[in-house]
């Protein structure tokens, strides 16, 4: 059996090596390392793929979130509501801009921000909601858009884990995640579903004026050479990274299909095991709960995350490691309990779901190159432990 990796970037590279190698050497030969034509072409190709008017490439997914918030003109003291159960980048940029992060609880089935908790957290100072499409499945955007409309709030989607995912609205309309709110951010970190070979990120929006503002912010606040109209940053996607992304974008649907196929096999193997709760599909697509769609992208499985009930999770992690199976706990500590983001206003009783999930979740290897033999070995090793 091939060695099992949490993410197999090497195997994926082997399959596209010629295309990637020639794309990279073309950039080197052109010496257009910054803002070269590759960046522009990638931008246009991603706009077409997503069905969004503007993609603004930038340095990484954390910058993308920060720049999105700067572009919206959020001011110190404005409150921004986001999920307690996510990667710290989301809350970090809110705090860096001296906005006030307001962390709220998530839903048990989807791991995503809970609309009821958003409603409870709204004050006259609330200016924006940041849903994170965690692990590759969209948050409840019907509800979130309704809340935003009612209270005149911006919606900033953190789509770092959801690129390529579809969201089906209650009325049947389908849109790619990242094209639904006022603005969205994504990351091309190598392990993301569309990853480059270094750092990269992008901002998406359908709003022409906001796109114009953001294009200046990513470039030192310049709209005209050496005229700095607003305070900006330097955040760019390198041409070499853009060329890698151009080589991989045509495969994104196939990559996400491969992830879904692996998820389907995992789910099947764990069927009937009472201590294991497999990921739930929660949206309005044709899938019923607990099935993985054949032909729709409602979940793109950035992570395949189980909930383990009544089993010592840390002992399971050790058991898997002892069998050369990597795994991850995303996320072991909720943001409201992190030193940097702790706040007297948070009450443990407000985070029952997050506090439960941090003890139950375990993510298994998930990438585009998993084969049946590896999945059988992983699932059998998990089942042996939880049923012993
Ligand atoms: C990866 C990630 C980010 C940050 O992306 P970088 O490119 O590493 O800066 C932000 N939010 C979420 C949810 C992520 O998973």
**Ligand 1, pocket-test mutation among 161, 178, 203, 303, most atoms within 8 A of CB:** 161
Centre of ligand 1 from the C-alpha of residue 185, in Å:
9
Centre of ligand 1 from the C-alpha of residue 67, in Å:
14
pLDDT at 286: 64
Which atom of ligand 1 is nearest the CA belonging to 86?
13
68 lines ligand 1 (CB under 6 A): no
Q: How many CB atoms lie within 10 A of CB 347?
A: 8
59 lines ligand 1 (CB under 6 A): no
**Ligand 1, pocket-test mutation among 57, 87, 93, 94, most atoms within 8 A of CB:** 87
Centre of ligand 1 from the C-alpha of residue 197, in Å:
15
Q: List the beta bridge partners of residue 113.
A: 106
pLDDT at 293: 73
Residue 209: DSSP 8-state: H
86 lines ligand 1 (CB under 6 A): yes
pLDDT at 292: 75
Which H or E element spans position 126?
Answer: strand 126-130
pLDDT at 290: 56
Centre of ligand 1 from the C-alpha of residue 88, in Å:
8
Helix-, strand-, coil-residue percentages of the chain, each rounded to 5? 40, 15, 40
pLDDT at 281: 86
pLDDT at 287: 59
Which atom of ligand 1 is nearest the CA belonging to 90?
11
Which atom of ligand 1 is nearest the CA belonging to 134?
13
Query: What does residue 379 show for φ and ψ, rounded to 5 degrees?
Result: -65, -40
Centre of ligand 1 from the C-alpha of residue 388, in Å:
37
Residue 127 near residue 74 (C-beta atoms within 8 A): yes
pLDDT at 332: 95
Centre of ligand 1 from the C-alpha of residue 191, in Å:
10
pLDDT at 146: 98
Give the whole-angstrom CA distance, residue 128 versus residue 138. 18
Centre of ligand 1 from the C-alpha of residue 183, in Å:
16
Which H or E element spans position 147?
Answer: helix 141-151
pLDDT at 291: 66
Among residues 9, 5, 48, 2, which one has the least CA distance to residue 244?
9
pLDDT at 388: 86
**Ligand 1, pocket-test mutation among 58, 84, 89, most atoms within 8 A of CB:** 89
Per-residue pLDDT of the chain (388 residues; tens, 9 = 90+): 999 999 999 999 999 999 999 999 999 999 999 999 999 999 999 999 999 999 999 999 999 999 999 999 999 999 999 999 999 999 999 999 999 999 999 999 999 999 999 999 999 999 999 999 999 999 999 999 999 999 999 999 999 999 999 999 999 899 999 999 999 999 999 999 999 999 999 999 999 999 999 999 999 999 999 999 999 999 999 999 999 999 999 999 999 999 999 999 999 999 999 999 999 987 666 655 556 776 678 899 999 999 999 999 999 999 999 999 999 999 999 999 999 999 999 999 999 999 999 999 999 999 999 999 999 999 999 999 999 8
């Amino acid at each position: 059996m091939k060695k099992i990796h949490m993410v197999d970037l090497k195997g994926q590279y082997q399959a596209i090596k010629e295309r990637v190698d020639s794309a990279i050497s073309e950039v080197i030969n052109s010496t257009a390392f910054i803002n070269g034509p590759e960046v522009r072409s990638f931008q246009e190709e991603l706009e077409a793929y997503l069905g969004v008017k503007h993609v603004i490439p930038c340095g990484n997914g954390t910058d993308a979130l920060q720049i999105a918030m700067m572009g919206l003109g959020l001011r110190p003291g404005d409150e921004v509501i986001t999920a307690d159960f996510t990667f710290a980048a989301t809350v970090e940029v809110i705090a860096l801009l001296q906005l006030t992060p307001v962390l709220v609880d998530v839903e048990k089935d989807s791991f995503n921000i809970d609309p009821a908790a958003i409603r409870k957290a709204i004050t006259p100072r609330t200016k924006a909601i940041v849903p994170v499409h965690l692990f590759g499945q969209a948050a409840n955007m019907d509800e979130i858009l309704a809340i935003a409309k009612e209270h005149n709030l911006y919606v900033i989607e953190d789509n770092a884990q959801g690129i390529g995912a579809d969201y089906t609205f209650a009325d049947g309309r389908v849109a790619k995640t990242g094209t639904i709110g006022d603005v969205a951010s994504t990351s091309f970190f190598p392990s993301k579903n569309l990853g480059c070979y270094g750092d990269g990120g992008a901002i998406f929006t359908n709003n022409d004026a906001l796109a114009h503002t953001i294009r200046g912010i990513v470039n030192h606040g310049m709209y005209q050479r050496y005229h700095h109209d607003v305070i900006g940053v330097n955040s760019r996607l390198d041409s070499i990274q853009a060329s890698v992304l151009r080589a991989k974008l045509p495969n994104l649907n196939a990559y996400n299909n491969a992830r879904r196929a692996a998820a389907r096999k995992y789910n099947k193997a764990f069927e009937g095991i009472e201590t294991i709760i497999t990921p739930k599909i929660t949206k309005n697509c044709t899938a019923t709960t607990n099935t993985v769609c054949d032909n729709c992208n409602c979940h793109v499985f950035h992570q395949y995350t189980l909930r383990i009930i009544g089993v010592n999770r840390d002992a399971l992690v050790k058991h898997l490691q002892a069998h050369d199976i990597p795994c991850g706990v995303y996320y072991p500590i909720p943001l409201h309990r992190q030193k940097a983001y702790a706040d007297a206003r948070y009450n443990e009783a407000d985070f029952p779901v997050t506090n439960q999930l941090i003890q139950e979740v375990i993510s298994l290897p998930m990438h585009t190159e998993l084969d049946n033999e590896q999945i059988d070995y992983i699932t059998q090793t998990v089942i042996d432990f939880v049923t012993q």
